[in-house]
Chain A
Amino acid sequence: MIEVTHLNQSFGKKTILDSVTIKINKNEICALVGRNGAGKSTFIHSLLGLLPVKQGSIAINGMDVKKKNNDWKRSIAYLPEKFMLYPTLTGLENMSFFAEAVSKTADLEKIEQALKSVRLWEDCDVQVKKYSKGMLQRLGLAITLYQDANILILDEPTSGIDPMGRKEILQVLKSLHDKTILLSSHHLDEIKQICSHVVYLQDGKMEKYTVADFLNTHHLGGSGL
């Protein structure tokens, strides 16, 4: 569960997040929506502890992100937008490196399981630079799944991917019933397919809707935002 209370973030005189208060419940799949530059990345970086929280509070599964022990980091996994991983390493080597970065030793069975869940096991010995965008994105998902975090934060997970690749990623996300997922997206069709809720960021303010309410309130019938 993610609980944000009166969060303020500003760069210089420009207010990016203005007293944002939002709660994302356990096992919810929630889309983070807003125009380019609305502050989605600032919000995500605040959740991840990459930006200091000076005003307001963020709790991840009840743990305050301001606390120095970083226990809350175990509950959260993040997949950035347009990531490339290590192109000269194979899929399996990338997985093993991140596995060892999270826990001291890589659990090979768990790695195999994660790669099979995103249908990449057959290609795990191929260098990542030879992967398609969709395969790369699925490998990223496998890395986040390996971490056993119950909250996934995904920054535009289907950006720049062909329709088939998008379909595959959405299928993987749909199958994750025991995870709380916050994903930023510009595609209404994928929000309709997999999300239960939408948090909408505009002018520094954030509001939470069900998908149906969001579409009605903002008179959106098309497929793109």
Chain B
Amino acid sequence: MHYIWKEWKENLRGKGLWLSLSIIVILTISILFRSSALSYDQGFYILLINLLDSLIYFIPILCLFIGAFSIFQEKEQKTLIMLLTKKDHYPSFFLKKSLALFIVVLVPLVTWFFLYLLLIKFNFQLDIKSYLLFILAMVVMSLVFLQMGAAIGSISRSRMQIIGYTIFVWFYFFFLHDFILLSFLPDVTYENVKLFSFIYFLNPLQAVRMFLETGMGVYSFGHMSRLMQAFMWTKPILFLAGNLLIWLGISVGTAIVFNRKEGYE
């Protein structure tokens, strides 16, 4: 609890979180203004897809930086080493810090999304279930990238390394992952499509998109080929949940195994 309280006060008085949140606020409001011409009954779904398309660029990189710098500052300020020489072990420090980070970032973000709902209410016919799915998708995406960011902060020795790793991770999930899979596309058959699908949905951005689009009924599973049916071998929510668990596990494992407490290693 004291980690959460400390993290909360630090972020409230710092600039990083407010800057990130203001980017999201400005972006979402500008999308709302741009959507004012959409129809009252169908515009809500188009707005959510537009929001997803825009936030999918910003939330990952902001969460990566917030997570990475938050851990790295503990090294820079030498507070990490002071904590480790007392009761804490690195794994327990990392888990407590990650939990505090999740709460500090997600509470203002989710609060903003609920306030935003009040603004949408004046322009469109609401579908609360779809909006809750949208918030869930954003929360999962934030969790995955915050934890990846925390892992980057954990293994980095300098701010330059953080910037390098962060840009690489962001670039990988936006371009490289799909680009690599594209080169394997001619070899995909009915027999190996499940493996291909597993790797495809290992990209959190694809899992989030599929989850939201199917949840809102924008993407239909009817009239699919056998190959596509085999490709979608489980429910989108399970792809999303699996993604969350796998990436949280990999990030925590990497952070603990390859952590650098200071520059002496």
Contacts and interface: CB of A to CB of B under 8 A. Distances in A.
A51 to B, nearest CB: 8
B264 A85 contact: no
A101 B151 CA distance: 22
A101 B83 contact: yes
Nearest to B77: A84
B87 A86 contact: no
A85 B85 contact: no
A93 B9 CA distance: 9
B85 A100 contact: no
B10 A77 contact: no
A152 to B, nearest CB: 11
B9 A73 contact: no
Interface in A54-109: 70, 73, 76-89, 93, 96-98, 100-102
A83 B78 contact: yes
A101 B87 contact: yes
A173 interface: no
B9 A88 contact: yes
Contacts of A79: 82
Contacts of B88: 101
Interface stretch (A28-36, A40-48, A112-120, A203-211): A40-48
B232 interface: no
Range, interface on chain B: 20 to 34
B86 A101 contact: yes
Interface in B9-60: 9-10, 13-14
A201 interface: no
A143 interface: yes
Given A101-B86, A101-B88, A86 B78 contact: no
Given A101-B83, A101-B88, A80 B13 contact: no
B226 interface: no
B77 A41 contact: no
A126 B10 CA distance: 14
A50 B81 contact: yes
Nearest to A78: B85
A85 B79 contact: yes
Interface string B227-265: 000000000000000000000000000000000010010
Contacts of A45: 264
B2 interface: yes
A83 B82 contact: yes
Contacts of A147: 86
Contacts of B121: none
Contacts of B85: 48-50, 73, 76-78
Contacts of A80: 78, 81-82
A88 B73 CA distance: 12
Given A84-B76, A143-B82, A89 B6 contact: yes
18 contacts: A50-B81, A50-B84, A51-B264, A77-B85, A80-B82, A83-B79, A84-B79, A86-B10, A86-B77, A86-B79, A87-B77, A88-B10, A89-B6, A93-B6, A97-B2, A98-B83, A101-B2, A101-B88
Interface of A: 41-42, 45, 48-51, 70, 73, 76-89, 93, 96-98, 100-102, 127, 143, 147
Interface of B: 2, 5-6, 9-10, 13-14, 76-79, 81-88, 261, 264
Given A85-B79, A86-B10, 19 more contacts: A41-B264, A50-B85, A73-B85, A78-B82, A79-B82, A83-B77, A83-B78, A84-B76, A84-B78, A86-B77, A88-B10, A88-B14, A89-B9, A89-B13, A97-B2, A98-B82, A101-B87, A127-B13, A147-B86
